[in-house]
Structure 1
Amino acid sequence: MSIEAPPTLQELTMQILLRNQALVVSSVDSLPQALFLQFFKEAFAYRSTEILKAMVQAWPFPCLPLGALMKTRDLKDLEVALDLINMLWRQKVHPRRCKLQVVDLRNEQQDVWSLGYMAMAHACSAKDMTEQGAAYPGAGMVAKKPVKVFVDICIQEKDDVLKDKFLARLLRWAKKRKHLGKLYCENLQMNMPHVWENKGTYLILNVLQVMQLNYIQELHVVHYWNRDTTNTLVRYVGRMQNLRVFSFSCVSAKDYTSPSLNEWYSSMYSAQLRKLTKLRELRLYDVFFLYGKLHKILRSQTPLESLSLGSTPLKLSDWMHLSQCPSTSQLKYLHLQDCRLEDLSLELLGALLKRVAGTLESLLLEECVITDSQLDAILPALSCCSQLTLFSFFGNHISMAALENLLRHTARLSQLRLARYPAPLESYRCGWGHLDNESFAQVQVKLRQVLRDIRPPHEVQIGDVPGPAPPDKRAKEAHLITYIPPSSVFSHLNPEMIRNRVLTWSGLEKQQVLAGQSLLRTEALDICALEKLPMKQFLSSVHGGLSQEMH
């Protein structure tokens, strides 16, 4: 039978104080430093609002991380926090001892309450602080700007946000008090279910109404919009002076086909989006408003780091602007997906690739319907992309000869780690989109020989799916050729596995056995990679395979 340890003197003291709120409120300035943080935690756990209000008035730190004390999505904890913020926002002057500038409702910094005074003193970054106000002579009071309130708002498609009472209460509270202060959120993510067209739009705009817009640095909005609600949204976006990442979809050209109306709305949108002078990453999917307007949106002298466009029609003038404007001069990531280029001469894309050859690390040209002749136009520039680590060319219409030529060019890129290519046209019998098993099997034999000859130093995937197929889908798996060079076999070794499972082996034996295990786990490993293995590692793989068969 276990005996509980008696409470410590400190715990007894706090229990007595919590039962005598009037005493604490009148003597909060006299609380010893050693008790202050722990006592606040206890008072919050017991939701002793009057004690908490008194302690906040004497809070000796710039930041109060309440979110770390709140139970996840707990409405009662939220009400206590909102009561404290109400008090702070209504006060025009604060006691001189109070140094509070930020109330943090984010579920972060879980350990700051246990690490002591120094950790709490540095709980907020300098950019989150407000300026100190001017003192009132003789009053012991100081005028301050409103305390900042930091929140996390991340709405995922799987979340049932319409039943989220926590978020609904927070938004109702903030909307009633937006004349007193706004909410601060650095990374705002709202991925709405497709069925929520009207409700989702209403929720997104409600969120933006209560936000300090010039603090937002990342905005991710996935939702189905109409042209008018998009117009309302971009007016908010245009006021986000410090926005660095903007991700937006969908207001599709397939749904809105009137050229004159699209032209008018596009002009309205571009007038707002051109204000984003600090933008570093732009991701737009399934939008109509870039057509002929890219030169009005990408006007900043600040270079973009990442540009992603998907299912987004562009004019020739847009491609000319992309290849010349300062915004695209230092791209690290260029992702073009489902941007149909079959009727476009790709010299302009080649000019863009040549321009960013020294910085580009990731290039996706997927489902762009690029043909052999168009590929020839970009190959010289692609060969110059010396920093490229990821290249994906899935979904394009090229022949076996063009694919082999492309493989030989990319094999020279020393930094490349993964390259993805479409199955060549010879794999299809009944037109594009209907891959024939027999034809693909013949192509597969030829491609394996090409890979043996070229020996690219990076992983290669060739097939008709954008990425590796799930292991349980054998039909799709048959339509994907994967080549893994021997040099990357050891990169998959898990140090934790080595420590836990092979402690009794010598260093050389570890490497041999683990290499064999890695090969066995990599089912799609190309046979030409196995041919280049040292004999000891090859025998280790065979031994492991036999062991698996026996078991």
Structure 2
Amino acid sequence: MNSWIRPQLMDMAIQSLLRDEAFALRARKELPVKLFPTVFTVAFRGGHRKVLSAMVQAWPLPQLHLGPLLVDPKSYQDSLWAILDSLDVVSRPGKGGKSKLKVIGFRPDVELIQSSDSSEEAASSLYSDATHVEPEVTLPETRSRQRRHWKKRPCQAWQPLDLYINLSLGTSHSGNVSSSVLRKVRRSCRPLRLFCRKLHIKDMPVIRTMEILNLLQLEFIQELEICGCSGLPSGDNKFARQVEHMKNLCSFTLAHLIFGTSAAESQLPSHAFISFLSHLSRLGHLRMLHPSSYHISGHLYCLLSYLPAALETLELPCYTLLHRDICCLSQSPQASHLKKLDLSKNDLSQIARGALEALVRETSDTLQELVLDHCGIRDLHLMVLLPAPSCCFHLHSLSFSGNWISSYSLENLLQLVAKLAELKVVVCPYPIECHEYMERMRLCSIESQQFISVTTMVHNMLKASGRENLKWIFTLNTFL
């Protein structure tokens, strides 16, 4: 029998079984363990709520990974709630077998399986006989952090259940898997332990954010992104104390923060924000930091004193870095470890000559990505800076779009970077002559002779230097 026919026949047989729900519920008692995932997959995609609930209550293996099934939000919501609702039902030996389930995974750790794939292939990633190895980080003894509604039933009837998920929460994420799982954890009668490796929160008030953090095993979080949330680094720093417990945090982004709900609170003094950042000194595993705030201006030395020396990514798009900030960064222990440095949207034209070059040289042994977009760089600044990147032999990506340079500076830049063997991508603006041409001719298209001549020049120079594999991307600074 052809290999593609067998899965189709299996699916047809299971779908026929599920049409008679009462019979399917009785048949599950005799279902072989190996068929559980396949039947479960078909039932999930078909929205057979009662069958799903019964199968979870009698799940014969310690793990159930739902990530590969959570592809289309419109198709899985009913099935997901059937599974979550079933977690509060205590299975008994006389009712189809007692569940051995200890872990439910909601993360897409394996390659997502499309709805057109066979149920047999999808089922292969839903479970494992092996002992569960999560978490990979060192954790203290963990406990369920949800509100203790489950006291209304005998505690000995409930076994703790671990849920593994990456959470994305905010105004644009209502009704998704994250919201459904959080709602279940808050209301469950059963002790549930929520492990989240990646947590992204956008546009949420501080009270709501703190409620979510109170449900999580904080020591497990490795990636935290907070965007547009109000009031977090102010007041009595409850959020900061929560961050201190994230001992295994590797990546931390604080972007577009609102420092209070009133006009007075929003004018948070710089020292208060730096005091908040001082809590980062407890995070020994931190490797990536993106603190987007003008409060860092003039105080970067304080922030650097709290960061681990082995920091690999530092993104400082805070618009207002001063000369002394750049000097402090170049003299910091972090400079010799950085793999990515992003200084976008800082006016580097105001930085005294030599400071930025010194910083690039200090990072040259490790730097792989340099981003200087919209930094007010012109020919004079670029010509001074150019010798420094020639030492960055491990540089993979260079970007300085949004600046104003001439064709002459572009040629000098190209000659220099063509010698960097590991460089793969360069993003730069079209020369200023192209913008002047657009304004003079009132053109809105780059399909003009001026633009074509620039791209041709770059192509020919790359070809002549044997760097045709270097991807060169041009950007327009403005629309005229």
- With normalisation by structure 2, the TM-score equals 0.69
- Equivalent residue letter for 1:465: N
Tell me, yes or no, if structure 1 residue 359 matches structure 2 residue 366: yes
Distance 2:201 2:324 in 1: 32
Cα distance change on mapping 1:259 and 1:223 into 2, 3 Å: closer
Partner residue in 2 for 1:420? 427
- Equivalent residue letter for 2:65: P
Deviates more, 1:451-460 or 1:100-109: 451-460
Identity %: 24
- Equivalent residue letter for 2:79: D
Tell me, yes or no, if structure 1 residue 375 matches structure 2 residue 382: yes
| Higher relative contact order, structure no. (Cα contacts within 8 Å, ≥ 6 residues apart) | 2
Aligned-residue RMSD, C-alpha: 5.1
- Equivalent residue letter for 2:215: V
Cα distance change on mapping 1:460 and 1:79 into 2, 3 Å: closer
The equivalent position to 1:389 in structure 2, one of 391, 396, 400, is 396
**How far apart are 1:144 and its partner, in Å?**
10
**How far apart are 1:257 and its partner, in Å?**
10
Match of 1:307, SS? strand
Distance 1:223 1:235 in 2: 20
Tell me, yes or no, if structure 1 residue 151 matches structure 2 residue 165: yes
**How far apart are 1:339 and its partner, in Å?**
1.0
- Equivalent residue letter for 1:175: R
Please tell me whether Structure 1 or Structure 2 has the larger radius of gyration of its CA atoms.
1
**How far apart are 1:278 and its partner, in Å?**
1.4
Distance 1:9 1:461 in 2: 54
Partner residue in 2 for 1:237? 243
**How far apart are 1:250 and its partner, in Å?**
0.5
**How far apart are 1:327 and its partner, in Å?**
2.8
Taking the TM superposition and a 5 Å limit, the aligned residue runs for 1:41-60 are 45-48=48-51, 51-52=54-55, 54-56=57-59, 59-60=60-61
Distance 1:31 1:442 in 2: 71
**How far apart are 1:353 and its partner, in Å?**
1.8
Match of 1:421, SS? strand
- Equivalent residue letter for 1:150: Y
The equivalent position to 1:83 in structure 2, one of 82, 85, 101, is 85
Match of 2:290, SS? strand
Match of 1:269, SS? helix
**How far apart are 1:206 and its partner, in Å?**
4.1
Distance 2:473 2:165 in 1: 42
Partner residue in 2 for 1:341? 348
Partner residue in 1 for 2:339? 332
Distance 2:357 2:279 in 1: 30
Match of 2:321, SS? coil
Distance 1:462 1:356 in 2: 26
Tell me, yes or no, if structure 1 residue 465 matches structure 2 residue 477: yes
**How far apart are 1:338 and its partner, in Å?**
0.6
Cα distance change on mapping 1:252 and 1:143 into 2, 3 Å: closer
Cα distance change on mapping 1:448 and 1:219 into 2, 3 Å: closer
Cα distance change on mapping 1:355 and 1:97 into 2, 3 Å: farther
- With normalisation by structure 1, the TM-score equals 0.61
Distance 1:80 1:41 in 2: 13
Cα distance change on mapping 1:38 and 1:294 into 2, 3 Å: same
Partner residue in 2 for 1:319? 326
Partner residue in 1 for 2:310? 303
Structure 2 residue ranges without an equivalent (≥5): 1-7, 143-155
The equivalent position to 1:217 in structure 2, one of 198, 213, 222, is 222
Distance 2:11 2:395 in 1: 62
The equivalent position to 1:249 in structure 2, one of 252, 255, 259, is 255
- Equivalent residue letter for 1:85: L
- Equivalent residues, number: 431
**How far apart are 1:350 and its partner, in Å?**
2.0
Structure 1 residue ranges without an equivalent (≥5): 134-141, 193-198, 467-474, 477-551
Cα distance change on mapping 1:289 and 1:63 into 2, 3 Å: farther
Distance 2:264 2:393 in 1: 41
**How far apart are 1:391 and its partner, in Å?**
1.8
**How far apart are 1:106 and its partner, in Å?**
4.0
Distance 1:261 1:9 in 2: 65
Contact 1:17-1:23 within 8 A present in 2 as well: no
